[in-house]
Chains A and B, each alone.
Chain A
Amino acid sequence: MTNEDREIFEGILQAQAEGKPCALATVVSTRGSTPRKNGAKMLVDPAEGLIGTVGGGCGEAEVITAAGKALETGLPVIVEVDLTDDPLSWTGSVCGGLLRVFVEPIYPEGQEPNGE
């Protein structure tokens, strides 16, 4: 396990201990040329910001938006990030593929929104 991954998992446990909700984004599949591969993670803490990255800027905004939504609904989602046609990307050489990112909300114990 890399130190980067460890930081994410420790971040999840710390958020739990502090009673803060956050969201985890994980790259679960890729196609074409993508900056990160399967398993790349980003922890989105609405209060304190990000740990890690799933794309180094490319398409990351979509993931952060999805994380916010997942925290509202309480439901995990899969976000498809298309890097093949990103007009805002000025790092065109690194992008050009397709990422599927699994985004999950994490709530402190006993604070999950009631689904049913």
Chain B
Amino acid sequence: MSKTPFLTLASASAQLLEAMDAGEKAAVLALVSHPDGTRSGERVLVREGKLIGSFGDPVADEGARDLALKGLSGNVAVESGVYPLPLEEGGEASVYLELHHPSAEMVIVGAGHLAQPLCTLGALLGLRVRVLDDRPEFATRERFPEASDVRRVDFSDPFQEVKLHPWSHVLLVTRGHRYDFECLRKVLQHEVLPVYIGMIGSRRRVRATFGALLKEGFPREVLAHVRAPIGLDIGAETPAEIAVSVVAEIVEEWRGGSGRPLREVERVLERFTAEPEQNDGGTTDAGGGP
């Protein structure tokens, strides 16, 4: 019998990280016991509906793939854990299924003054933060201690190297409007757009950007997805203040708030507390008063 091309723990780990970085869900299946006695630790992986690696047994492979697809579909009955895996020659092995979903990330394009508080607040929200710049003296780990990834890229197409996915939050805050524009164009060429795309800029610059992109043929609905100028209107001026307004907008995107002051949304004082009693009549009960 030919040697089965199963995945080792290391090769499965590499495949898994690759899937996560590409924004895909993935399931890893590891044999934890097998009638042969020597096969535990052998792995296969399922990503994009496809089985990668093989247990060298068509029945086991099919069972593994089915189990993974059930788990990845969000079927609550199938969670990470140990399951029986029927084998071709009869009998069964035990397989440990582990489900993985890509993590939400913040991709900060431009490593200037604004990027630093953005990185801090993104990490605080639990996002995996990546910071990109074409200037090596700005794209340094020292400037972004909370970032998972800081790297020098070419702004003509940074997303060749740093793959975006549907859970990416892309913040275009480079030092030059032209770079923001070029990066935005690349972001909008993705088949599935990232959940949050924000670009900094004055009204005039944003208008020029949208005008140019419309002229290039980008549909209005696609441009409507871009948050430019970036952030909520809280009158922010300093980098820290602007960062607060940006992460507030990110939370609003997640949770679906209105972005308005809760005081105005709820109007508790006006709606639920009685006006002080007045003597001009009209609203008081008939016969009331001394």
Contact = CB atoms under 8 A, between A and B. Distances in A.
Given A12-B9, A12-B10, A6 B96 contact: no
A78 B16 contact: no
B10 A3 contact: no
B13 interface: yes
Contacts, number: 62
Nearest to A112: B8
Interface in B174-221: none
Contact of A29 (B82, B103, B128): B82
B101 A28 contact: no
Q: Give the interface size class of chain A.
A: 20 to 34
B96 A24 contact: no
Given A10-B17, A39-B98, A104 B81 contact: no
Given A1-B103, A3-B148, A9-B17, A29 B81 contact: yes
Q: Give the interface size class of chain B.
A: 20 to 34
B160 to A, nearest CB: 22
A106 interface: yes
Contacts of B38: 75, 115
Given A12-B10, A102-B32, A76 B40 contact: yes
A38 B41 contact: no
Nearest to B95: A28
Given A10-B17, A16-B10, A28-B96, 16 more contacts: A1-B20, A6-B17, A6-B103, A6-B148, A9-B16, A12-B13, A13-B10, A28-B32, A28-B82, A38-B79, A39-B80, A39-B98, A75-B38, A102-B30, A102-B40, A106-B9
Interface of A: 1-3, 5-6, 9-10, 12-13, 16, 24, 26, 28-29, 38-39, 75-76, 78, 100, 102, 104, 106, 109, 115
17 contacts: A1-B100, A1-B102, A1-B103, A13-B10, A16-B10, A24-B9, A26-B98, A28-B32, A28-B81, A28-B96, A29-B82, A78-B32, A102-B32, A102-B96, A104-B30, A106-B10, A115-B38
Interface of B: 9-10, 13-14, 16-17, 20, 30, 32-33, 38, 40-41, 79-82, 96, 98, 100-103, 128, 148
